[in-house]
Amino acid sequence: MDRMALPSLDELEAARERIRGRVRHTPLLSLCVAGATSDRPVYAKPENLQRTGSFKIRGASHFLARMDGAARARGVVTHSSGNHAQGVAAAAHDWGTSALVVIPEGAPPVKVERTRAWGAEVVRCANTSADRVGTAERYARERNATLVPPFDHPWIIAGQASIGLELHDDLADAANVVVCVGGGGLLAGITASLRRRGSTAQIVGVEPILAADASASFDTGAVVEWPAALVTRTVADGVRTQALGALTFAIIQAHVDGFVTVSEDEILDAAAWYARDAKLVVEPTGALTLAAYRRLIAGDAAMALRPGPTVLLVSGGNLEPSQLSALAVRQVPS
């Protein structure tokens, strides 16, 4: 895949304009973490501060903004383990249309409750990609509604790409950008916008060791699907997707520099550090990038950080109260 296969910069800038005022331009927050120095600062881009507590509202808002008015009025259907569910529910609320969201059993209750709070109808299903997609497609047909994909669609990727445009506006000389990956919409979007802006930053994808299908795909050069029984083992519920999408894989394979995988303890330690030391509520998925950074500075990864500023994408902060309490008392390294 060559550079021209990326969305154009004009397309990405137009997507950003369509959702301006519907999403927050999140800041870059300096982190006092081990390894950070004046010439190698570390920043978090806290998408947990979005209205729905995650970056997913960007892609969902852009998808609804691009829809034909008549189709939008008939309503939307989607499937999600929680954060995309809230993004679509909020976007539908903003546009004054209906949303039905298929959420698998095992999703965090707080994400289900917040999806309903935005006015969406929630339907539960078994915890596999096939069940999620099949159930959502059936409801979309029955209701003559539009299915909003969670990640593998140009409009979704372009919406998530607004993060990379903001990042480049605020820190054009970022040397390393570290991003978690599930279905790949976030990583593909940020990668597309940074590369289209001319950034030469090293872009690093992060996954749990227990759900490393994207890393396996990157290594083998073809999309690898992991069984639901494997990916659902990780505490990072936002990246339990069983495989990358075709569009997201093409961008990631061609333009991402490498992957780091991290353990469950490393994920929880990073989430606890955010709660204790950074005073940020970060769900395990959002803490993946800090866990990866720690591996990178320790030399425990197959790649190394480049000299200069590092940005850690914090994807979301939708935590169960009991989980937040457990993280607050967890003993973690500095």
**CATH number where 130 lies:** 3.40.50.1100
116 lies in the same domain as 27: no
The last residue of one of the domains, among 120, 147, 174, is 147
What is the structure's pLDDT at 1?
A: 36
Residues of the chain with pLDDT under 50: 1-4
182 lies in the same domain as 207: yes
The last residue of one of the domains, among 147, 180, 205, is 147
164 lies in the same domain as 41: yes
Cβ atoms within 10 Å, residue 17: 10
> Which 3 state secondary structure label does DSSP give 161?
helix
Known catalytic residues?
56, 81
Query: Domain range for residue 84?
Result: 56-147
49 lies in the same domain as 187: yes
What is the structure's pLDDT at 221?
A: 97
Alpha helices in 46-108 (DSSP H): 56-66, 69-73, 83-95
Residue 62 belongs to some domain of the structure: yes
165 lies in the same domain as 228: yes
What is the structure's pLDDT at 333?
A: 62
Residue 10 belongs to some domain of the structure: yes
What is the structure's pLDDT at 334?
A: 56
Residue 184 belongs to some domain of the structure: yes
Cα–Cα distance list, 105 to 5, 109, 112, 119 (Å): 37, 10, 10, 20
Which is nearest to 286 in space by CA: 260, 322, 251, 312? 312
116 lies in the same domain as 261: no
Residue 334 belongs to some domain of the structure: no
Residue 33 belongs to some domain of the structure: yes
135 lies in the same domain as 66: yes
What is the structure's pLDDT at 236?
A: 95
What is the structure's pLDDT at 127?
A: 82
What is the structure's pLDDT at 2?
A: 43
User: What's the rounded Cα separation, in Å, for the pair 251 and 253?
Assistant: 6
Cβ burial of 299 (10 Å; 0-12, 13-18, 19+) is exposed
122 lies in the same domain as 235: no
Burial 300-315 (b: 16+ CB within 10 A, else e): ebeeebeeebbbbbbb
Q: What are phi and psi of 158, to 5 degrees?
A: -65, -35
Which is nearest to 257 in space by CA: 195, 196, 309? 195
Residue 333 belongs to some domain of the structure: no
189 lies in the same domain as 267: yes
109 lies in the same domain as 159: no
User: What's the rounded Cα separation, in Å, for the pair 202 and 177?
Assistant: 6
217 lies in the same domain as 199: yes
Which is nearest to 44 in space by CA: 306, 322, 270? 270
Strand (E) or helix (H) holding 100: strand 99-104
> Which 3 state secondary structure label does DSSP give 325?
helix
The last residue of one of the domains, among 130, 147, 164, is 147
Which is nearest to 118 in space by CA: 84, 141, 73, 163? 84
Total domains present in the chain: 2
47 lies in the same domain as 135: no
Burial 173-182 (b: 16+ CB within 10 A, else e): ebbbbbbbbb
Residue with tokens 């829809």: 67
Q: What is the C-alpha end-to-end distance of the chain, expressed in Å?
A: 41
User: What's the rounded Cα separation, in Å, for the pair 134 and 112?
Assistant: 19
Quote the pTM value: 0.95
Residue 41 belongs to some domain of the structure: yes
Residue 164 belongs to some domain of the structure: yes
Q: Give the orientation angle of helix 83-95 with respect to helix 109-117, to 10 degrees.
A: 0
